[in-house]
Amino acid sequence: MKCRGMKLKQLRIRKRKLGKTGYNFVFGLVLTAVMVGLIILGFFWSPYDPEAMQGSLKLSGPALAHVFGTDQFGRDVFSRILVGAGNTLIVALGTIVIGGGVGILAGAVTGYFGGWLDEILMRVNDALAAFPSVLLALVIISVWGTGKYKVMLALGIAFIPSFARIVRGEFLRCREEDYIVSARLIGVSAPRILFVHILPNIMPALLSALAIGFNNAVVQEAGMSYLGIGVQPPDASLGLMLSESQTYLASGPWCAIFPGIFLILLILGVNMLGEGILDRFGGGR
């Protein structure tokens, strides 16, 4: 039972914590840098050729020679992870470049100018947003075919609505801010206002959205490769590795576990980075 009127000494002086503010950002940055660094390394070098099959070493566990073991064809898991993650990275980056690029433009224009264009585009946007982006991507793939770059295109297009919506919201909000209104009154040209004045101010929210988008893209790509409609064999992809390894789970769990952990760490890193950016640099909310 706690009573009031405690002794002076018992009053806990809580130091103002950095809270998760500092630690989210830093941790996220470090983790992301490590993962991305590994992946980039993978572009130039990997311990073994990811496609090289060494029949004699099928399904061997983690050992000095093969740090993460080998899969059912004798391929080095670690090397495949590096290359697979590389594909995942390309697809995810491509996705946010396409989705983000078009989305930001669309969102900026409709958010700032409004009018009937805004109304129409928003209706269409809502319709598109009703689809989970995966489905939208599936639709596109079903019409255009599978494969790494098609996935990137499909996901990119599928992500446009969410980016557009977020950016539009931000631009809408900023449009009424005092400094923007005064800029308009002075006669600053619209493109200038959009890019020189508003854009820098919504950076934190934007970067955070990009981080989330990146993560979603990673997950979706993994999912689609898992289902077999993404990256095609013999190319590697984390999702593909997961599906290939499913039948051998009993005999070779490392084939699934390590790619999975890699995936998780990458997503976690970007997640924390995205949140850390919002914490550190505010979102204007």
Partner 1 sequence: MKFVIRKLSGLIITLLIVSILAFLAFEVIPGDPARSILGTEATESKVQALREEMGLNRPLPQRYGRWVKDFVGGDMGISYSYQTPVREMIGDKIPITLTLTAIAFLFILLFSTPISILCVRYENKFIDKLFTILNQITMSVPPFFIGIIFTVLFGLVFRLFTPGGYVSYEESVSGFFKYLILPGIAIALPKAAMTIKLFRNSLLAEMRQDYVRTAQSRGNNPWRVLVRHVLRNGISPVVTFLGMAIADMIANSIVIEQVFGIPGLGRTLISSISKRDYPVVEAIIVLIAAVILVVNVLVDLLYQKLDRRIEV
Partner 2 sequence: MLKVENLSIYFEDNGKIQEAVRDISFQMQDREILGIVGESGSGKTMTALTIAGLTKEHEILERGSILLDDTDLLKLPPAEMRKIQGKDISMIFQEPMTALNPTMKIGKQVEEALILHTVLSKTERRKTVIRALEDAELDYPDLLYGKYPHELSGGMRQRVMIAAAIVCKPKLLIADEPTTALDVGTQESILKLLKKLNRKYDMGILFISHNLRVVNELCSRVLVMKDGVILEEGMTREIFENPRTEYTKELIAAIPGHTRSTAFYELLCAEAGE
| Contact residues: partner 1, CB under 8 A | 20, 123-124, 126-135, 138-139, 141-143, 146, 215, 219, 222-223, 226-229, 242-243, 246, 249-250, 253, 256, 260, 263-264, 267-268, 271-272
Please choose which of partner 2, partner 1, none residue 285 contacts, taking the beta carbon within 5 to 8 angstroms, the exact cut-off set by kind.
Answer: none
Question: Counting Cβ atoms within 10 Å, is residue 258 exposed (0-12), middle (13-18) or buried (19+)?
Answer: buried
11 binds partner 2 (CB under 8 A): yes
DSSP designation for 150: H
Q: Give the C-alpha separation, 265 to 238, whole Å.
A: 12
Give Cβ neighbours of residue 207 (< 8 Å, ≥ 6 apart): 274, 277
- In the complex, the smallest distance separating the C-beta of residue 79 from partner 1, rounded to whole angstroms, is 21
- In the complex, the smallest distance separating the C-beta of residue 45 from partner 1, rounded to whole angstroms, is 27
Q: Which residues of 196-217 are buried (b: 16+ CB within 10 A; e: fewer)?
A: ebbbebbebbbbbbbbbbbbbb
Choose the stretch contacting partner 2; rule: CB under 8 A; options: 10-18, 73-81, 129-137, 159-167. 10-18
2 binds partner 2 (CB under 8 A): yes
Count Cβ atoms below 10 Å from residue 72 Cβ, excluding itself: 15
17 binds partner 2 (CB under 8 A): no
- In the complex, the smallest distance separating the C-beta of residue 25 from partner 2, rounded to whole angstroms, is 23
Instruction: Name the residue type at position 95.
Output: T
- Contact yes or no for 242/222 (Cβ under 8 A): yes
- In the complex, the smallest distance separating the C-beta of residue 17 from partner 2, rounded to whole angstroms, is 11
* Of 12 and 250, CB closest to partner 2: 12
- What's phi and psi for 76, nearest 5 deg? -70, 120
* Of 122 and 193, CB closest to partner 1: 122
- In the complex, the smallest distance separating the C-beta of residue 139 from partner 1, rounded to whole angstroms, is 6
* Of 28 and 107, CB closest to partner 1: 28
Choose the stretch contacting partner 2; rule: CB under 8 A; options: 4-12, 31-39, 43-51, 166-174. 4-12
* Of 12 and 285, CB closest to partner 2: 12
Q: Give the C-alpha separation, 36 to 15, whole Å.
A: 35
Q: Give the C-alpha separation, 37 to 86, whole Å.
A: 10
143 binds partner 2 (CB under 8 A): no
Please choose which of partner 2, partner 1, none residue 4 contacts, taking the beta carbon within 5 to 8 angstroms, the exact cut-off set by kind.
Answer: partner 2
Determine the Cα angle at 48 with ends 44 and 52, to 5°: 115
Binding site for partner 2 (CB under 8 A): 1-6, 8, 10-16
